[in-house]
Amino acid sequence: MAVKQLETVPKKQVMTVDVEDYFHVSAFEKNICRSDWASLELRVERNTNRLLELFEQHQVKSTFFTLGWVAERCPNLIRSIVNQGHELGSHGYSHQRATMMTVAEFHQDVSKSKQILEDAAGQKIIGYRAPSFSINDSNTWVYDTLIELGFEYSSSTYPIEHDLYGVPNWPRFMYQRSEEVDGKYIIEIPVPTSRKKGQNTGIGGGGYFRLYPYWLSKKRIDGYLKTEQQPYSFYFHPWEIDPQQPKVQDATLKSKLRHYMNLSRMEGKIIRLLEDYQWDTMKSVYLNK
């Protein structure tokens, strides 16, 4: 697996949004059945439109890794994303972790999502992010499927120790995977981490960003940029700016703490992040497209 270095570290960093609703998250998969999704209040369109407003105000372009399930129900949202100059990527169809699917199931899920997104957007989808960063040593075959389906890059790994995901011994920076299909390869772009005393710590967004005060997150990002001389990428979800979302009462205490912590402060933190850095899409910063 060869690390693919950029010629120069770009001035712009990478903003990404995983477009899913509160009931899609892996933390609640034991509490909310997929068969019940259609009966639940859909809040993702309104929340994502709010993000589009914030991005427009701050002249930010982002990559939106979107569930096919969401795209089916919110085609106008997909058109808004692409019409405003953002990149559309795939987050799979049903937010099922790749580690829990067979080769056939994964192929069906991702190909279905890609077709729905491309039909709605009227453009090719080249980027993929696995739900819950669920690519690890047990299922590297997913890269063969992604190459076969025409994806040029993935951002599906988080090189940290975590109870739901993580491959701490995998590369920390963008690299070309060794898998090859008909002479084609794929790039993997891991979520950023800081490294101290041989251990990686997550700094890429999500729960870590909600947990820490903004000044500390900014210090960690600045330290990464200075030390690593690599572009920084950030990820979060539309439901993270929605403190009024319905509460899943029968979820575990750990899941509740992870999901609901500091939701009321998240939009303000995002605004500060948009003001403090310059942002662009995955394909622009990493692939120069």
pLDDT tens string 265-282 = 999 999 999 999 999 999
State the pLDDT at residue 254. Answer: 86
State the pLDDT at residue 90. Answer: 98
The DSSP symbol for 181 reads B
pLDDT tens digits, 227-248: 998 999 999 999 999 999 999 9
State the pLDDT at residue 38. Answer: 94
- Residue 11 to residues 51, 136, 279, 285, Cα–Cα distance (Å): 22, 31, 9, 9
- Cβ atoms within 10 Å of 70's Cβ, excluding its own: 27
State the pLDDT at residue 10. Answer: 64
State the pLDDT at residue 121. Answer: 95
Q: What DSSP assignment string belongs to 66-89?
A: E-HHHHHH-HHHHHHHHHTT-EEE
Which tokens hold the place of 74?
A: 């919110």
In whole angstroms, what is the distance from residue 1 CA to residue 177 CA? 5
State the pLDDT at residue 91. Answer: 98
Q: Which of 20, 160, 180 is nearest to 89 (CA)?
A: 20
Determine contact, residues 176/186, Cβ cutoff 8 Å: yes
State the pLDDT at residue 129. Answer: 98
State the pLDDT at residue 80. Answer: 98
- Residue 49 to residues 42, 78, 168, Cα–Cα distance (Å): 13, 10, 35
Residue 88 β-bridge partners: 64
Determine contact, residues 271/80, Cβ cutoff 8 Å: no
Torsion angles phi and psi, residue 145, rounded to 5: -65, -45
Structural domains of the chain, ranges and CATH numbers in brackets? 2-287 (3.20.20.370)
Sites in the chain below the pLDDT cut of 70: 1-10, 161-166
- Residue 124 to residues 87, 128, 165, 289, Cα–Cα distance (Å): 10, 12, 29, 13
Report how far Cα 243 is from the mean position of its chain's Cα atoms.
20
